Amino acid sequence: ARQARKRQVIARANSYSAALKMIAGTDFIVTLPRRVQKLLAPAPAFGVCEAPNGLPGFTLDMQWNETSGQDSANTWFREQVVKVCADQGLL
């Protein structure tokens, strides 16, 4: 059932590890994918609970320098990242 609570965003971070550092020692919470939580924030360092249904989705983006964008090694690396993400069901 839907709770009578409204989400209040107090900060944004450019990485999950930065978000975890921001909330350490506070009563704030951060929502992150389970895979990331297991990797970066194993219990008992942080409490863990299931997120409520209805949370918005998110996108994964890659960015690179236009100059190196045509470099064969850079292209190969980006292809490998996409392949791994696809194999893990992240796309």
pLDDT tens readout for residues 10-63: 899 999 999 999 998 898 988 888 888 888 887 777 888 888 777 777 777 888
Whether 5 and 41 map to the same domain: the answer is yes
Residues 1 and 33 in one domain: yes
Closest CA to 30 of 45, 43, 46: 46
- Are 36 and 77 part of one and the same domain? no
Collapsed DSSP state (helix, strand, coil) of residue 64: coil
Whether the pTM exceeds 0.95: the reply is: no
Q: Are residues 4 and 48 in the same domain?
A: yes
The pLDDT value given to residue 13: 92
Task: Give the domain range for residue 66.
Answer: 59-91
Domain co-membership, 74 together with 50: no
Q: How many domains does the chain have?
A: 2
Pair 38, 64 in one domain:
no
